[in-house]
Structure 1
Amino acid sequence: MSDQYELFLTCPKGLETLLAEEAASLGLEQVNTHTAAIRGSADLETAYRLCLWSRLANRVLLVLKRFNMSNANDLYDNILAVDWQEHLSPGGSLAVEFSGNGSGIDNTHFGALKVKDAIVDKLRRDSGERPSIDKINPDVRVHLRLDRGEAILSLDLAGHSLHQRGYRLQQGAAPLKENLAAAVLIRAGWPRIAAEGGALADPMCGVGTFLVEAAMIAADIAPNLKRERWGFSNWLGHVPALWKRLHADAEARADAGLAKPPLWIRGYEADPRLIQPARNNIERAGLSEWVKIYQGELATFEPRPDRNQTGLIICNPPYGERLGDEASLLYLYQNLGERLRQSCLNWEAAVFTGAPELGKRMGIRSHKQYAFWNGALPCKLLLFKVQVQQFVTGERGERRAANDSEGERPVAPTPAAAPVRELARLSEGGQMFANRLQKNLKTLSKWARREGVQCYRLYDADMPEYALAVDLYGDWVHVQEYAPPRSIDPDKAQARLLDALAAIPQTLGVDTAKVVVKRRERQSGTKQYQRQAAQGQFMEVSEGGAKLLVNLTDYLDTGLFLDHRPLRLRIQREAAGKRFLNLYCYTATATVHAAKGGARSTTSVDLSKTYLDWARRNLALNGFSDKQRLEQGDVMEWLAADREEYDLIFIDPPTFSNSKRMEGVFDVQRDHVQLLDLAMARLAKGGVLYFSNNFRKFLFDEGLAARYTVEEISPQTIDADFARNPKIHRAWRIVAK
């Protein structure tokens, strides 16, 4: 066998240049980069050294053969021609990995099968024995890469991916792979900082991956020193004496590194469930003397090294996977920027993020950015020098720095306490949005206090470029982002949303933890009723003397349609002594008002068990249990079967519904005539039916006006908070002729 080998080293996408530099420093020659891989030439000692010392590679592949192929038979014949007895004992075990397609190979499983068949047939023909297949811990792992008709046959010297260092047996929800964490540290300049005796802190450390990788770099510990099984361990070309010498040298370097005074490396994590797993990982890595983990919130983060040195702040904030995460993430990034400015002056900082737009909201300018991939997610590494000249100026031009004379975090002003011009670090668009919020709040808060209204709409896409609805529920803010039209650049829409979210807590003087964001799109079927989260947090609010439960987090809607407030209060005023029917009752808030107004009995009908359970809780909260009937069923079918009479009926149907629990599809435009005829058949003499819907293009059938006395009352059902959007719904009062 030749003394020089062609090697392929694979890595996460985006690490190719870094890996090429690292591999060259470890002895790889003639280095070329490819997508998620590098290629070069080396002897066996260098191949071993790459396996042991590469912090960035996934695999070290030793190329056995390159050949062109046009079909599966070519593949089989070329694999058969290799002298496999130089690599694998006939009674040994084998695993085959295949990547790529073409040249008659339709899928990787078929390609791997052809390679396996050729190897097994060759060994059986030469020795009479055949190797077994072991996909977990084979003696030899063979890899074939097919690229545009060229096949590259290799032995995997690593075995399992090199990012699996062995210390991280416990991990959090979305951990970085160890080699990606090492790459981020290298790009952030940690090797230089560590060599200078600098400190390192991670304010959101999770299970400690950055901390362990940083300590191994600082202590000169080979990342795979503790790996016991390698892809070359049972390879017949393996030279144990050479490997033992390299491994012993690495052990000596690790011992020398750990004997030095440890650097100050600290991690802080808010989730108490991750503290012990992180400490366990650190202990398995043998770095308990170097790395310490503490429970701590970002809001109180303040690195204090023993010798007052500076160093590197590094973190990987959460990216957000659910709609509505924008608010909490924005405030997290703002808080991170605030802590850097307040407590980390003259440190360097590195923020690895899958949401680079949020990185711009930190109030500090990054001096350098690098593109990475975390799996399939494009990410950015933002590098900062925490110096006063890097801080983003506020609206009045002054700089906010950790050594400002005030020395305290700005307090969000209450609406009456400070004008909007005092708000810090808002963009021009954010300032415009804040001005509009302040203007609306000044008017509507007076109206709300006068009318005793606790929950109301403050803003409803008043400025078209900020297409949001902002509702106040006591001291909570519920934000709905309307899906932007396709003509709007998604990045611009996202930037405007973040502008608005930055302005809301400051303008309204609310805790950022009490801002809930959802995205409202065109609804089909029961999508608006589908569960969005599972926090189960209900809040009690009051309206017209009635107590109602709302849930701001779990569903697209909150359980209370604010625009129907005037209709609910009208029903309360008219309900005394009457039999009340609420169709498509949702959470039965109108039923609560009817009962509060003295209704003789109430009947509420809805198809959703979830909302009927919610309705039951609303009624019980107000002390109503007797004579309050809750019926689960399709309203049209229920009306057709019901024979009771009612004095007061309220109908607020969906625009469209195709629930699995109903036959057919309900369309309010098409079906409202049948719906109203069925309901009017149940209306007692002298009774009143209120009908409402929020379909903007709805046309009331003229034939109904010929059969019943119909009066549109839409203007009387719009309160001050919806006066800017009077088309939010239309409503009619219908009685028998």
Structure 2
Amino acid sequence: MSDRFELFLTCPKGLEGLLIEEAVGLGLEDAREHTSAVRGMATMETAYRLCLWSRLANRVLLVLKRFPMKDAEDLYHGVLDVEWQDHMLADGTLAVEFSGHGSGIDNTHFGALKVKDAIVDKLRTPQGDRPSIDKLNPDLRIHLRLDRGEAILSLDLSGHSLHQRGYRLQQGAAPLKENLAAAILIRSGWPRIAAEGGALADPMCGVGTFLVEAGMIAADMAPNLRREQWGFTAWLGHVPALWKKLHEEAVERAAAGLAKPPLWIRGYEADPRLIQPGRNNVERAGLSEWIKIYQGEVATFEPRPDQNQKGLVICNPPYGERLGDEASLLYLYQNLGERLRQACLNWEAAVFTGAPDLGKRMGIRSHKQYSFWNGALPCKLLLIKVLPDQFVTGERRTPEQRQAEREQAAYDQTPNEPQERKFNKNGNPIKPTPAPAPVVEQPRLSEGGQMFANRLQKNLKAMSKWVKREGIDCYRVYDADMPEYAMAIDLYHDWVHVQEYAAPKSIDPEKASARMFDALAAIPQALNVDKSRVVVKRRERQSGTKQYERQAAQGKFNEVSEGGVKLLVNLTDYLDTGLFLDHRPMRMRIQKEAAGKRFLNLFCYTATASVHAAKGGARSTTSVDLSKTYLDWARRNLSLNGFSDKNRLEQGDVMAWLESSRDEYDLIFIDPPTFSNSKRMEGIFDVQRDQVQLIDLAMARLAPGGVLYFSNNFRKFQLEENLAERYAVEEISAQTIDPDFARNTKIHRAWKITAR
């Protein structure tokens, strides 16, 4: 075989430029860049070195042959002509991968089959020995790439993809591939910073991929030093002595690197479930002395190796997978920006994001941006110098002020000159008083954000007297007052619940997103709440019982007050919170009328109306719902107020329950869903269609002189006219709208129904 070989190095899309620099540095000659690949010439020593040391490549492919190809027969004979006995044994194992199409090959599986057939036919012995297929751990992994009528037949020297270093056996929900993490570190300047003895911190480290890759770069560890199985291990062209020499050199370099004083490399992760997997990954990489991982929130992140040391803050914030998540992430990015400005002055920062618009909301400018691909997702790497003149704050500084800040920052970065030490009267040295920490301003709101903040503050002030008088701490403070900011904002004591309405298709999605971010930035300032207490959801047109389906599983309940009762709300796990704020006047009416009465609450949800009835002195309450989850919630609401006795909870289909019931009630409340098709009920409930049967069944349970209240939120609902022929029906919708829903008087409709 030749002393020089043609090599193809494959890589993730967007890493080609970095890979060609790395490969040339490792000895690749005549290098050329291709899409997701680099091509060049190399000796076997360089090929081995690339396998061992490339931090960016996926595979190192050694080209065995190029040949023109018109059809499947050309493919078969071109592969058959290779002296396969020089590469593998007749009874060895084989895996074939085929890419490209054309020349009569439109199916990659068919193309791979033709390549396999040619190799097997070439090596088949008179005794019947022949290679077999092993897709997981073959002796030889063959690639054939079809490119504009030319077949490029290669041997994969890597085996498994080189990004699989072997240390990351445990990973989080959306991990970066190791070679992409390495590329981001290189683009961020980490090799330079590490060579200068700088520190590295990742405030959202997950299972530690950035940390381990950074540690290996700093300690001069070959990324694939610990790999035992290679694509060339069973290859007959393998030169073990040459490989052994290169491997031993890498072992010596790693030992020398690890013997140096370790750099300060730290990771912080909010999710406690990821801490131990991250530490396990660090230990498997052999970097436990260099890297430490702690549990911590971004909002409290503060790297402090020592007062004078600087370095790189690097992170890959979550992108958001569900509708509304991206908006919720705004505060995460804002917290990150605040921590950079307050705790990382004069550091460098690198933020890798799939949501670059959020990156603009950190309150600090990036001086460079690079495009990358994380799988199929386009991403940006934002490089930031954490210097005051990069901060986006409320103060507009003159050029002279900016120059003074730059000079001060440059001065802060230079080593301190030795100072004359002072001593107290006892002869002990007096420690110098540290300079006060710089005051870091909040990022200023955009013009739209400030306008939105003004509206929120105006609404809050207008409702303050009413809220205090009524004794409530959960109410709506904004409901799409300005059409371009389409959301509802509810206060629940010291928490804020935001529901973003999906923008119409006529609205530019980028403009809608920008307005949403402006509004979210304004909410904490305008309402004087911590960003961690703002919960954001996106509300779209719902079908069936989707609004009641679980959205998350945090299980966190908050206690709120309303009309002298305490109620539990869950702001995170469901689209609704467990308390329909618009029905507050109806609940208060029930409380006032319940004294001495038997109260029935149908479709009771979390039984908030039953709590109010009990507070008003009801003789008994009965609450019926199909959901065990909501009845458990109802039980907790009743217990919270000391109303566990004489308050019955019934699980069942309301229609069936009413048909079987023979009890009488003096006060009945019905707030049915618009539509329900639960598997636990017979048939499908439709409030427009089934209203007459429902009201008739409920009226049959109403005691003489009793009152039934019926309401629902279906905008198109029309009460059947013939009900008025049998019962006294009075619409009371206007009387059941409180000031916080005055802008949305069609939020629900309500009727008072009594026997004639």
Q: Secondary structure at the match of 1:230?
A: coil
Aligned CA distance change for structure 1 residues 288 and 706 (closer, same or farther; 3 Å): closer
Could you tell me which residue of structure 2 aligns to residue 482 of structure 1?
A: 501
Deviations 1:645-672 (A, max 9, x none): 3332211122222222334433323332
* Higher mean C-alpha deviation, range 604-613 or range 66-75: 66-75
Could you tell me which residue of structure 2 aligns to residue 377 of structure 1?
A: 377
Aligned CA distance change for structure 1 residues 103 and 524 (closer, same or farther; 3 Å): farther
Q: Secondary structure at the match of 1:557?
A: coil
Could you tell me which residue of structure 1 aligns to residue 675 of structure 2?
A: 656
Deviations 1:218-251 (A, max 9, x none): 3433222232221111101112233233334434
How far is the alpha carbon of 1:149 from its aligned partner? 6.0
Alpha-carbon distance between aligned partners in 2 of 1:493 and 1:136, rounded to the nearest angstrom: 48
Question: Which residue, 456, 464, 468 being the options, matches 1:449?
Answer: 468
Residues 206 and 274 in structure 2, CA contact (< 8 A), matched pair in contact too: yes
Question: What amino acid maps onto 1:560 in structure 2?
Answer: L
Q: Secondary structure at the match of 2:118?
A: helix
How far is the alpha carbon of 1:306 from its aligned partner? 5.2
Instruction: Indicate whether 1:577 and 2:596 are aligned.
Output: yes
Alpha-carbon distance between aligned partners in 1 of 2:654 and 2:32, rounded to the nearest angstrom: 69
* Higher mean C-alpha deviation, range 234-243 or range 521-530: 234-243
Q: Secondary structure at the match of 1:14?
A: coil
Residues 342 and 440 in structure 2, CA contact (< 8 A), matched pair in contact too: no
How far is the alpha carbon of 1:326 from its aligned partner? 4.5
Alpha-carbon distance between aligned partners in 2 of 1:307 and 1:522, rounded to the nearest angstrom: 54
Question: What amino acid maps onto 2:697 in structure 1?
Answer: L
Paired residues for 1:618-657 under 5 Å:
618-657=637-676
Could you tell me which residue of structure 2 aligns to residue 59 of structure 1?
A: 59
Alpha-carbon distance between aligned partners in 1 of 2:128 and 2:163, rounded to the nearest angstrom: 38
How far is the alpha carbon of 1:479 from its aligned partner? 1.3
Aligned CA distance change for structure 1 residues 571 and 259 (closer, same or farther; 3 Å): closer
Residues 319 and 354 in structure 1, CA contact (< 8 A), matched pair in contact too: yes
Root mean square deviation of aligned Cα: 3.0
Alpha-carbon distance between aligned partners in 2 of 1:721 and 1:497, rounded to the nearest angstrom: 22
Residues 468 and 480 in structure 1, CA contact (< 8 A), matched pair in contact too: yes
Deviations 1:66-108 (A, max 9, x none): 4565665654444344332111111222223344556666655
Paired residues for 1:46-125 under 5 Å:
46-67=46-67, 75-100=75-100, 108-125=108-125
Could you tell me which residue of structure 2 aligns to residue 143 of structure 1?
A: 143
Alpha-carbon distance between aligned partners in 2 of 1:287 and 1:671, rounded to the nearest angstrom: 67
How far is the alpha carbon of 1:475 from its aligned partner? 1.1
TM-score by length of 1: 0.91
Question: What amino acid maps onto 1:365 in structure 2?
Answer: R
Residues 594 and 667 in structure 2, CA contact (< 8 A), matched pair in contact too: yes
* Higher mean C-alpha deviation, range 285-294 or range 16-25: 285-294
Question: Which residue, 500, 518, 528 being the options, matches 2:537?
Answer: 518
Aligned CA distance change for structure 1 residues 684 and 289 (closer, same or farther; 3 Å): closer
Aligned CA distance change for structure 1 residues 551 and 201 (closer, same or farther; 3 Å): closer
Question: What amino acid maps onto 2:631 in structure 1?
Answer: L
TM-score by length of 2: 0.88
Paired residues for 1:224-623 under 5 Å:
224-271=224-271, 274-305=274-305, 308-323=308-323, 325-326=325-326, 329-394=329-394, 407=437, 424-623=443-642
Q: Secondary structure at the match of 1:726?
A: coil
Aligned CA distance change for structure 1 residues 30 and 668 (closer, same or farther; 3 Å): farther
Residues 95 and 142 in structure 1, CA contact (< 8 A), matched pair in contact too: yes
* Higher mean C-alpha deviation, range 125-134 or range 337-346: 125-134
Aligned CA distance change for structure 1 residues 310 and 88 (closer, same or farther; 3 Å): same
Residues 328 and 512 in structure 1, CA contact (< 8 A), matched pair in contact too: no
Question: What amino acid maps onto 2:65 in structure 1?
Answer: K
Residues 319 and 326 in structure 2, CA contact (< 8 A), matched pair in contact too: no
Q: Secondary structure at the match of 2:124?
A: helix
Residues 395 and 426 in structure 1, CA contact (< 8 A), matched pair in contact too: no
Alpha-carbon distance between aligned partners in 2 of 1:623 and 1:260, rounded to the nearest angstrom: 65
Q: Secondary structure at the match of 1:603?
A: strand
* Higher mean C-alpha deviation, range 92-101 or range 67-76: 67-76
Residues 165 and 227 in structure 2, CA contact (< 8 A), matched pair in contact too: yes
Instruction: Indicate whether 1:710 and 2:729 are aligned.
Output: yes
Question: What amino acid maps onto 1:216 in structure 2?
Answer: M
Alpha-carbon distance between aligned partners in 2 of 1:484 and 1:316, rounded to the nearest angstrom: 28
How far is the alpha carbon of 1:517 from its aligned partner? 1.4
Q: Secondary structure at the match of 1:558?
A: coil
Alpha-carbon distance between aligned partners in 1 of 2:250 and 2:436, rounded to the nearest angstrom: 52
Alpha-carbon distance between aligned partners in 2 of 1:244 and 1:518, rounded to the nearest angstrom: 58
Question: What amino acid maps onto 1:473 in structure 2?
Answer: Y
Could you tell me which residue of structure 2 aligns to residue 698 of structure 1?
A: 717
Could you tell me which residue of structure 1 aligns to residue 192 of structure 2?
A: 192
Alpha-carbon distance between aligned partners in 2 of 1:54 and 1:126, rounded to the nearest angstrom: 43
Aligned CA distance change for structure 1 residues 429 and 145 (closer, same or farther; 3 Å): same
Paired residues for 1:130-209 under 5 Å:
130-146=130-146, 151-209=151-209
How far is the alpha carbon of 1:593 from its aligned partner? 1.8
Could you tell me which residue of structure 2 aligns to residue 418 of structure 1?
A: none
Alpha-carbon distance between aligned partners in 2 of 1:543 and 1:511, rounded to the nearest angstrom: 23
Q: Secondary structure at the match of 2:722?
A: helix
Aligned CA distance change for structure 1 residues 406 and 528 (closer, same or farther; 3 Å): farther
How far is the alpha carbon of 1:287 from its aligned partner? 3.6
Alpha-carbon distance between aligned partners in 1 of 2:367 and 2:127, rounded to the nearest angstrom: 63
Deviations 1:706-731 (A, max 9, x none): 33322211111011111122111111
Residues 327 and 516 in structure 2, CA contact (< 8 A), matched pair in contact too: no
Q: Secondary structure at the match of 1:152?
A: strand
Deviations 1:116-156 (A, max 9, x none): 34333332247741233333322111223345665433211
Residues 363 and 443 in structure 2, CA contact (< 8 A), matched pair in contact too: no
How far is the alpha carbon of 1:325 from its aligned partner? 4.0
Residues 711 and 750 in structure 2, CA contact (< 8 A), matched pair in contact too: yes
Residues 69 and 150 in structure 2, CA contact (< 8 A), matched pair in contact too: yes
Deviations 1:285-313 (A, max 9, x none): 34445444455544444444458243322
Question: What amino acid maps onto 1:210 in structure 2?
Answer: F
Alpha-carbon distance between aligned partners in 2 of 1:78 and 1:126, rounded to the nearest angstrom: 23
Question: What amino acid maps onto 2:352 in structure 1?
Answer: F
How far is the alpha carbon of 1:372 from its aligned partner? 1.4
Q: Secondary structure at the match of 2:746?
A: helix
How far is the alpha carbon of 1:614 from its aligned partner? 1.8
Could you tell me which residue of structure 2 aligns to residue 419 of structure 1?
A: none
Alpha-carbon distance between aligned partners in 2 of 1:177 and 1:588, rounded to the nearest angstrom: 49
Q: Secondary structure at the match of 1:727?
A: coil
How far is the alpha carbon of 1:456 from its aligned partner? 0.8
Question: Which residue, 697, 700, 704 being the options, matches 1:678?
Answer: 697
Question: What amino acid maps onto 1:453 in structure 2?
Answer: I
Residues 505 and 511 in structure 1, CA contact (< 8 A), matched pair in contact too: yes
How far is the alpha carbon of 1:606 from its aligned partner? 2.0
Paired residues for 1:17-56 under 5 Å:
17-56=17-56
Q: Secondary structure at the match of 1:503?
A: helix
Aligned CA distance change for structure 1 residues 675 and 152 (closer, same or farther; 3 Å): farther
Question: What amino acid maps onto 2:654 in structure 1?
Answer: V
Alpha-carbon distance between aligned partners in 1 of 2:126 and 2:21, rounded to the nearest angstrom: 43
Deviations 1:35-74 (A, max 9, x none): 3223333332322221122110011112223456566565
Question: What amino acid maps onto 2:226 in structure 1?
Answer: K
